[in-house]
Every structure is written in C-alpha cells, then in structure tokens.
Homo-oligomer: A and B are copies of this chain.
Amino acid sequence: MSTIADALGVSTATVSLALRDSPLVADETRERIKDHARQIGYIYNRRAASLRTRRSGILGVVVHDIMNPFYAEILRSIEAELDRSRQTFILSNHYDQLDKQRTFIDTLLQLGADGVIMSPAIGTPREDIETAENNGLPAVLIARTVKGAGVPVFRGDDAYGIGLATNHLISLGHRRIIMIGGTDQTSTGRHRYRGYVAAMERAGLRVDPSWRIPGPRTKQAGFEVAGQFLSHKDKPTAAVCWNDLIAIGLMNGIARAGLVPGVDISVTGYDDLEEASIATPALTTVWNGQREVGRRAARVLLDRLSGIEVEPTQELIKPELHVRQSTTQPVERD
C-alpha cells in the first residue's frame, strides 16, 4: 500500500479507504488508486488487516472424515453456502481422536478463525466447546451433539428415521431384523439403536441383544460382516444398517455368498447417498437431510458472525424413507 501511496503522492490511509470503496475519498482519487493497484499487481494482505480488524475471514470445519460421503455431502452444501460470503474455510478430519480435534481448534484460534462448524469427536467434553467459545471462536454443531454445550446443533432425527426403515421392513412381513453397524459412544448411535428397538417393540417383536452387530461405518466393514450376519443362529431375513456404506458393503457380501440381496435378504441403508440409487439392487434408505444440515449450520454461523443473536437450540431435521429394490417380502431360507 505504501508503494501505491508513494507513487501517487497520497497517504496509505487514502489508499486503504479507496480500495475499500469508502465514500470518504473522492471518486477521481479512488479510480487513480485502483487503477494503479491493478497495474502493479497489488495483493491485499489479509493477515495484516485482520490484525487490526479482528476478523480473519477464515472458518473451520471439522468432521470425522471427509472421505465419508455422508460428510462430503454436508461439506458440499457448506461450501455452496459459504461461497456467497467472503469466508474461506479450512477443513480437518478428527477420525474420532480427541487430540486431533483439539489440535485443530488450537490452530483455528492461532489463525484467528471467525468460527467453526464441527461434528464433535466421540467423547468431546462440554469444556472443549467452551474453550473455543470463550476465546472468541463461535461454534455450531452438526450431526452429533454434546451435552450441555450451549451452542446450536443441527442433526437429523435419528430415532424417527431408523424407525421409518424398521417399520417398513416389519410391514413387509419381516420379523427377525438385525441392526448392523454403529456404536453406543455417539449420540447418533444411541438414538438410532433406540429408534430401532422402539419400532420393534411397538410391533410386539422382542429384540435379542445379539440382534445387533456394532462396528465401523464403512463399506469394508459391511462387506466383512456378511458372513456373521448370514450364519446368525436366528436366521434373520432383513438388516437395518447404520448407513448406506455398510448396507452396500453388506449387499456385496451377500452377493459374494451366493444369495441375492433384495430377494433372499432385505437391506435398508441410511443417508440416501447418491450411490444408493445406483447400487444393485437400488437401496431402500432413509434420506437424512445432509444438504439441509450443512446449509443451515453455515447459515447460522454466518448469522452469529454478523452479530445476530442465535438461540442455542437443537434443530431436528425430519428424515424421509426412500423405498427402492433392496427390500421385499421375506423368504424362508436354509
């Protein structure tokens, strides 16, 4: 800026004001300055500016794993929403490791980030969120919640959603339905399992504890669990899967074992990823409102930044059942 100022015989203050279209500077001066800036390829130094303004234009986003299409879809919608603002965002995976998450938050604080959207790692204590907030880093949670953290949360209504899938299988005539994947260590996990049990019990079906096969939420895991599922002593006719990845992996595993998914075994997914509709057979699944979650989380964070007071409420997005070919009436096998 001082180069420009010197070249044009004005002060840096004028340059600063001119470049930001302040009405304080005369039109003619502004044009001269802007022209010259363009000509010499001036590059605005954001960190110098942010030192003064206390705004860095950086937002952080932490999720479990970007490679997981569920989060990827959320990220897409966050990206789309932020595109229209002047914010840059920094991404990180925490892989459910608390220390990774803490390191990242610390980095954000050091960079003077303006806010953070996070899907908290398993076991995140309320204090971690408070640390961020107290140091001027407003947070918004997605997908998972942290008890007692006074910040907005956006997530799907998991208990209700898994209920939709379970009810659908029951209404097709299935009785021995096993739930696959997930863990009790996340709020999401507890909600989904509870929703499944509740739906079964509403239909008068007893749920055996062995009717749950917990595990990682990957395609690979679903694939590998197929054997265990098929050889289960109760001969289940259907699987309610934690998510689409597991469901697709499971269907692949079932096919590999010589059975036909969607005929011999019914399978439901969760999330309704793009993939679900092109899987073979096309997967019956629950749309979880990823787009909506990302969009609204971003929106609310931007609101918080612009000073709008936001209630720290939990917003539950209502899932919808999308029926496709992976669920049919049960057939007896053995």
- Spell out A's residues near B (CB within 8 Å): 41, 43-48, 50-51, 56, 58, 66-67, 69, 72-73, 75-76, 79, 88-91, 93, 106-107, 109-112, 135, 219-220, 223, 249, 252-253, 255-256, 274-275, 278-280
Contact = CB atoms under 8 A, between A and B. Distances in A.
Contacts of A89: 90
19 contacts: A41-B135, A44-B110, A46-B47, A46-B111, A47-B48, A47-B111, A48-B51, A51-B51, A66-B75, A67-B69, A67-B73, A89-B90, A90-B90, A90-B91, A91-B91, A219-B278, A252-B278, A252-B280, A253-B278
Contacts of A223: 278
B46 A274 contact: no
Contact of A88 (B73, B111, B274): B111
Given A47-B112, A219-B275, 20 more contacts: A43-B110, A43-B135, A44-B110, A45-B110, A45-B112, A46-B110, A46-B111, A47-B50, A47-B51, A48-B51, A58-B111, A66-B72, A67-B73, A67-B76, A88-B107, A220-B274, A223-B278, A252-B279, A255-B280, A280-B280
Contacts of A219: 274-275, 278
A213 to B, nearest CB: 17
A91 B62 CA distance: 13
Contacts of A88: 90, 107, 111
Contacts of A45: 51, 110, 112
A145 B111 CA distance: 32
Stoichiometry, copies per complex: 2
Nearest to A111: B46
Contacts of A278: 219-220, 223, 249, 252-253
Q: At the interface, is chain A mostly helix, strand, loop or mixed?
A: helix
Contacts of A112: 45-47
Nearest to A69: B67
A184 B67 CA distance: 28
Contacts of A66: 66, 72, 75
A91 B82 CA distance: 14
Given A47-B111, A66-B72, A107-B88, A256 B274 contact: no
A41 B107 CA distance: 14
Nearest to A48: B51
B275 A256 contact: no
Which 4 pairs across A and B sit closest by C-beta, in order of nearness?
A: A47-B47, A67-B72, A46-B110, A223-B278
Contacts of A73: 67
A256 B277 CA distance: 12
A256 B279 CA distance: 9
Contact of A93 (B79, B135, B274, B279): B79
Contacts of A253: 278
B91 A43 contact: no
